[in-house]
Structure 1
Amino acid sequence: MKLEFLEFHLLSSSLQHLWSKFIEHYDWEKLLNTVTSRLFQFILLSILFLIIRWVGKAIIQKAFNKYRDSKLATVSANRTDTIHSLVLNIFTYIILFFWIYALLTLMGVPVGTLIAGAGIFSLALGLGAQGFVSDIVTGFFILLEQQLDVGDAVKINAIEGTVTAIGLRTTQITSYDGTLNFIPNRNIQIVSNLSRNAMRALIEIKVNPNTPIDDITKIIKEVNEQLTPKFPEITKGPTYLGTSISADGHLALQVIVYTTPGEQFTVQRAFLSAYLRAIREAGISLPTIYPGK
């Protein structure tokens, strides 16, 4: 028992001695002053870069607003918004790079020596930046070929919506339900742009074999004459195609109309509602339940 107590006492004494040596080895007042000074410099540095970022974004915003309002503007509004989004994105990355560089320098890290010694390109690849480089290259060609612009209605992979922003690394698509999707540029393989050409709206009216087709045809033509002038977004049609077999295998009367991009669904709903209302008022019944459904 005495032996165990003696061993414990010796261990405790050794620990106290080591702790005393540790405390005496460092100048804690100087260390505290150094940490406080570095922390203060870090806060000032961050505030400075935030101010630079805020002022830079304000200048860029003002410059693009002035260009939009000027008579010299020859680029489309969507294209201008795309370039605006890209410039802001590049500016943000530049500010971030210099902030990190200044922060590392403040911490005493020889950034310039590291870059010169290892080679920034080899270092970037070694850290797994191939995806980042691929994003930038793909984004560059998307902009160069004008595959899409901010405000365009597009379908990319399984995502469909409106282009919100185009950056160096990602493209932002807002779905029609409000979901904001961030798509890495390297994942963009097929772009279906729904805003470049006139869009087709197909309107189908399901009928039975014994439905009075001639009467409904007359009603469709009358509705077209009344409704078409109310939709200036219509670029062509409506064109009555007559009787056909719909995609689900049922007999239907089809009408097609071409509209400006993004308006095809509004026009489709308006014309279909008008057709059905006029047919119902004429006392003609249409099928609502189909065999096998």
Structure 2
Amino acid sequence: MLVNLVSLPADAVVQLPPLVPPSNHTLPAGVEQQGTLETAPVKLDGKTLFRIAAPAVTNRSDLGTQVPVEVRASQVEGNLQRLLPDTWSHETAIQPANLNVVVETVNGFPVLFAEGASFAQPRVILTVTDADAQYYGISQAELASQWQDELEQNLRQALEIRQPEALRQTLRTFFKVLIATISTSLLLGITWMVLGRREKALRQQRHWQSSWLQTQPASTEILEADQATPSPTQGLIYFLSLQRRLQFVRFLRWLNFWVVAFTWAIGSAYVFRLFPQTRQLARKLVIAPLVLLIAWFVIGLINRLIDFTVDKFIQQLAESQTLTQANLQRINTITKVIKGVKAVLVYAIGVLLVLQWLELVPGSVLALGTVLALVISFAAQNLIRDLVNGFMILLEDQYRIGDVVKIGEKSGLVETFNLRITQLRNPDGNLITLPNSSIVEVENFSRDWSRSDFRVEVAYDTDVDLALAIVRNTAETMAQDPDWQAHILDTSEFLGVEHLSHQGMVIRIWVKTVPIQQWVVAMELRRRLKKAFDLQGIRIGIPQQLWIQDN
């Protein structure tokens, strides 16, 4: 047996005609492809009655004599709408009982007609085609019988809701829903204002408690719970409790807002579905925004529930009395950073899920990702440096919220700290915002303990031993004062004469204090030294000058 081999060119390709049209084109809304058939829904008053079929279209820009399935479905829906009276016109309404759907064979195909007393002749609804029968897997006659019952039932229902009495009942229902929606909104508005006043009161209490905590020592030991005066740790526990209560009230206000939003959204959807002319509009204008509203609500709810869980965990740690105030302060700082990162992650995941629900085409997502990558590469370089430096500051525990620091030429109380920025409140009350990438050197005036580097200048002719004794005794007496004992840790570290000049002697003493209390301790020590020097007749240093007159 001889086999002849035929050589083909290297670029020759044997192509077979495709059995199924290529699916790289976008189908119209509602159209689905099933093998070599395409189907589209037939709707009446927004309700899908059934689906009709037609051969799949290969190229919708060049149809030729082919009728796409969506065009055929639109023609059938138009035939159905012409059978129904205009609700807002004064024409005589068709009685539902007088409408019948019949099937007749025309040119070998079953054709459904509508008959009624007000029709001069039967009106065509649709023809049952071979594609329809192939899609449902039954004969044309059986399918025509099924559609006959379906159309007759739904057309009569459509006529019934268009009767004058039904229209009046629909209008009454509309006004009831409108009044109920407005009344509910007013009640929720009152609740919103009450919760707003409660939130304001809790904010004031939290501010007062925070101010009190800043004046208390950050003791390294937990005080007994049954002491007469509250310990700083107990004060911090109360502060955390206020913070949780404030967050709960804010959650209630947030929930109140969403209840109002859902009330109007659901009310609007219900009203749109009351009238047959607006039911299809309800699906387009209300359903999709309502789903997006629900998605946004769920994302926010998850975010706040995680906040509640984190705050409850922190308060349980504080109530266990196994932590110092300094450690709790650090945990509070870390908690705020975690909440910020968590919020970004939760909302980012939520947005991705919403985009997936919207069924964005992969090409659009890819193009969007490319654009975002370019934007980030040019505009987010400083942001990345901020995040990295902020993470290192947090990891190394360089400062915490509530610390007094000096960063470069700026100094103040740390009010806000996250991975992006640090905010300081300076003595003038100004809020200073610093990007974390600009932070190179940090001076922390309140870590573990502080020191008042106190200097006082007395007259040159003062008894130096007497002056030193007065300074030492005044500092020790102040350290034993019940009002100042909790603020002063040690007064014996350093004491002596630092400088001699024509103005006098500079006496220097170090007073070790609890964090952030060095300035108030220094002010009180100056006041007491002034009174002690006055009692002993010691004068403050005065510049001395000698004038020599040459005769």
Q: TM-score, normalised by structure 2?
A: 0.41
Amino acid at match of 2:457: K
Cα distance, 1:277 vs structure 2: 0.7
Residue deviations 1:44-78, cap 9 Å, x none?
Answer: 33333222222221122112222232366599212
Q: Say which of 539, 543, 547 aligns to 1:285.
A: 539
Cα distance, 1:275 vs structure 2: 0.8
Q: 1:105 to 1:158 in 2, by over 3 A?
A: farther
Distance in 2 between the 1:116 and 1:70 partners?
A: 53
Aligned counterpart, 1:240: 495
Distance in 2 between the 1:171 and 1:279 partners?
A: 44
Q: Say which of 451, 461, 479 aligns to 1:228.
A: 479
- Contact 2:459 2:538 survives alignment (8 Å): no
Distance in 1 between the 2:332 and 2:512 partners?
A: 27
Residue deviations 1:228-281, cap 9 Å, x none?
Answer: 2233443332443125159xx864222222223212112211211111111112
Aligned counterpart, 1:56: 306
Aligned counterpart, 1:79: 330
Q: Any unmatched runs of 5+ in structure 1?
A: 1-28
Task: Tell me the number of residue pairs that the alignment of Structure 1 and Structure 2 aligns.
Answer: 262
The Cα RMSD (Å) is: 3.6
Amino acid at match of 1:285: R
Q: How does 1:26-45 map to 2 (within 5 A)?
A: 34-45=284-295
Distance in 2 between the 1:147 and 1:120 partners?
A: 37
2:379 aligned counterpart, secondary structure: coil
- Contact 1:53 1:95 survives alignment (8 Å): yes
Q: Say which of 421, 424, 433 aligns to 1:173.
A: 424
Distance in 2 between the 1:111 and 1:176 partners?
A: 54
Distance in 1 between the 2:336 and 2:458 partners?
A: 50
Aligned counterpart, 1:256: 510
Aligned counterpart, 1:201: 452
Q: 1:256 to 1:290 in 2, by over 3 A?
A: farther
1:76 aligned counterpart, secondary structure: helix
- Contact 1:207 1:287 survives alignment (8 Å): yes
Aligned counterpart, 2:397: 146
Distance in 2 between the 1:154 and 1:42 partners?
A: 45
Q: Is 2:435 the partner of 1:184?
A: yes
Higher Rg of the two aligned structures: 2
Cα distance, 1:89 vs structure 2: 1.0
Amino acid at match of 1:34: K
Q: 1:261 to 1:71 in 2, by over 3 A?
A: closer
* Greater share of helix: 1
Distance in 2 between the 1:206 and 1:71 partners?
A: 46
Amino acid at match of 2:520: T
- Contact 2:458 2:538 survives alignment (8 Å): no
Cα distance, 1:88 vs structure 2: 0.7
Aligned counterpart, 1:20: none
Q: 1:289 to 1:110 in 2, by over 3 A?
A: farther
Distance in 2 between the 1:71 and 1:199 partners?
A: 24
Q: Is 2:412 the partner of 1:161?
A: yes
- Contact 1:241 1:256 survives alignment (8 Å): no
Cα distance, 1:219 vs structure 2: 2.5
Amino acid at match of 1:53: N
Q: Any unmatched runs of 5+ in structure 2?
A: 1-277, 546-551
Cα distance, 1:37 vs structure 2: 4.0
Q: TM-score, normalised by structure 1?
A: 0.72
Distance in 1 between the 2:362 and 2:504 partners?
A: 71
Aligned counterpart, 2:520: 266
Distance in 2 between the 1:200 and 1:119 partners?
A: 55
